Chain A
Amino acid sequence: MRVLCSAVSVALPSVAASGEKGPLSFHIGSCDRCRGEAASYAEMYRSLDALNDATVPAPGGLPQRVMSSLGPVAVPAPAGQRDHLVPVAAAAAIATAACGGAVLLRIYRQRAA
């Protein structure tokens, strides 16, 4: 194998995939061996591309198996249903702060006495 052919051979997988042979085109056009290799890559990429449309039939009952194993989905509540949570959360925060304040006050008084 000529040095140039081995260099082309290394580059061919990517070059043939892009379809742009660029500076290699002159050599590929004049070398039977490299032309044949480029053609076989092109054929391979066509076959691979065709696989995108080919499907393997899923085993029967797959949808049923999927549906039977679904748990509840975490559906976000609509904005209107969440509005009432705001005052509840605020009231809870105020109550917690008040309780904490009362406990601290009691401790302070006990120490003072």
Chain B
Amino acid sequence: MQRQPVEPLQPLDLVERAREGDRDAFGELVRIHQHGVYTLAVRLVRDRDQASDVAQDAFVRAWRAMPSFRGDAKFSTWIHRITVNTAWTHRAKQKRVRLDSLDSLVEDPESSALDPIRAGEAASAAPQIEDALMGLSDSIRAVVVLKDVYDWSHVEIADHLDISVTAAKVRLHRGRKDLRAKLAGFEDGAS
């Protein structure tokens, strides 16, 4: 007897099944979205090890919240929002840890935890812009990334980063100017 080819699951089916508690369907969603979520996490927290933790945590949070996912946004949009919230929670924790471990960083000059250039090295096919982004402070970079890469609105950015819309606009303006200056610096260095 000839077996019928298995119809590949469509993302909508996967989301619906994952909402009903189907682990296999959720696992498939994780496989599909892992790179996008990890990429966003790297851009927000810089450090790749931390980004991996953020991505994992974001998916676990998404799994817990699956029953409340109503499908009025795309799953990718929804998981990105969760990733931003998770990254910001990790950042707050990391800030506390960093204050406690400044000595160990001084003792370990090879540490890449805070090295923007290393964190951005393998980031994409556009290393200059990635490196320039990684040179911005976390709070400024997050706004620039969410607005100019992911096309979020000022209101969404303010809401997820827990800042005012005015603060989001100010940081964006400053971030764009800083970013351009850094890119100009790369060009001057190259020439």
| A interface list, Cβ under 8 A from B | 13-14, 17, 40-41, 44-45, 47-52, 54-59, 62-63, 65-67, 69-76
- Chain B residues contacting A58 (CB-CB under 8 Å) are 34-35, 37-38, 52, 55
Chain A residues whose C-beta falls within 8 Å of the C-beta of B149 in the assembled complex: 48-49, 51-52
Among the listed A17, A54, A70, which residue makes an inter-chain contact with B148, where contact means beta carbons less than 8 Å apart?
A17
Taking Cβ atoms with an 8 Å cutoff, the residues of B that contact A are: 20-21, 23, 26-27, 30-31, 34-39, 42-43, 48, 52, 55-56, 59-60, 63-64, 66-67, 122-126, 128-130, 144, 148-151, 173, 176-177, 179-180, 183-184
Interchain CA distance A67-B34 in the complex, whole Å: 12
With A and B bound together, what is the CA distance between A65 and B49 in angstroms? Answer: 13
A69, B60: Cβ atoms closer than 8 Å: yes
Give the complex CA separation of A17 and B179 in angstroms.
13
**Given A57-B35, A65-B56, also A73-B66 (CB < 8 A):** yes
Q: A40-B184, A73-B63 are in contact. Are A62 and B55 (CB under 8 A)?
A: yes
Q: Are B123 and A56 in contact (CB under 8 A)?
A: yes
CA distance A113 to B35 in the complex (A): 79
